[in-house]
Amino acid sequence: MQKKILVTGGTGYIGSHTVVELIKEGFEVVVIDNLSNSKVEVLDKIEKITGTKPVFYQFDLCDFERLEACFKKEGNISSIIHFAASKAVGESVEKPLLYYRNNLQSLVNLLELMRKYHVPDIVFSSSCTVYGQPDKLPVTESTPYQIAESPYGNTKQIGEEILKDTCKAHSEIKSIALRYFNPVGAHESALIGELPLGTPNNLVPFITQTAAGIREQLSVFGSDYNTPDGTAVRDYIHVVDLAKAHVISVKRLLENLNKSNFEFFNIGTGNGYSVLQTIQTFERVNGVKVNYKLVDRRPGDIEQIFADTSFANKELGWKAEKGLEEMMSSAWKWQQTVK
């Protein structure tokens, strides 16, 4: 019998790519999404890539009654991958209560219903923002938390604490938190990719939209950081590599290969690239110019971060395979299909 995986936020950027990888691996997928930052047409694109359209429910995870009705109706859910959350650092500084409600209430609702309906496993979409601005780079899983630089980062720290405490109190629940760095790029088919509704909050869709003439200019936030060229440094990871890490994590939990009830892994490439390096790589591989200007730093942003991924490589048997050039070329290929 096919194992049924519930994917929250499954029409979103990382969610949709993960749904594709799950279906390719033979899982039955159920998606919940409120479509606050995605479009329902993504389901048709998933079907085009895989030949299978996942079951879909549209509602907000903070609605406990509707979520319970979904658990009841679907039955026999083997595992959950929880993506659904508000995710823009800058917006979280402006609207902290929205972030605390959306990102924490949804997780609490899921965990309560997992216990009630005997769903044992959850993979949690965490983030490198849990580390704040680390004292030492690259960050390992034992790097201590710093005070979060944004409410978004704080919701990921608190989310992990909620998971850890729940797993400690209820041994029947197992979880893996994937602390990922900066997902970019798009599926090789160019049928799915990063399509933020409204103004993008992340660098790469802003690069592609500026190159396409949708945005007049790209603002590079901060040029006076203590980095080689003064712009912020990040560890960019191809979204398909990231999606595959989720599938491997689900299998690890289903096969009881986890070493403890709460595990966490860094998911990145281990390479740090500055904003200007990223823009220049995009221009070089795609042969297009990006109109950008250097502006003041943005509240909530950290100076630089990149991962030590050796623990995930060893324990999960997972490794990022795609480099920055492939990330930038696939992102542009995807952008050119967007109407």
Q: Which residues are marked as active site?
A: 152
Phi-psi sector, 142: left (phi>0), alpha (psi -120 to 50), beta:
alpha
Instruction: Assign 3-class secondary structure to the chain.
Output: CCCEEEEECCCCHHHHHHHHHHHHCCCEEEEECCCCCCCCCHHHHHHHHHCCCCEEECCCCCCHHHHHHHHHHHCCEEEEEECCCCCCHHHHHHCHHHHHHHHHHHHHHHHHHHHHCCCCEEEEEEEHHHHCCCCCCCECCCCCCCCCCCHHHHHHHHHHHHHHHHHHHCCCCEEEEEEECEEECCCCCCCCCCCCCCCCCCHHHHHHHHHCCCCCCEEEECCCCCCCCCCCEECEEEHHHHHHHHHHHHHHHHCCCCCCCEEEEEECCCCCEEHHHHHHHHHHHHCCCCCEEEECCCCCCCCECCECCHHHHHHHCCCCCCCHHHHHHHHHHHHCCCC
Using alpha carbons, select from 5, 32, 17 the residue that is nearest to residue 183: 17
Supply 206's token pair.
């802003």
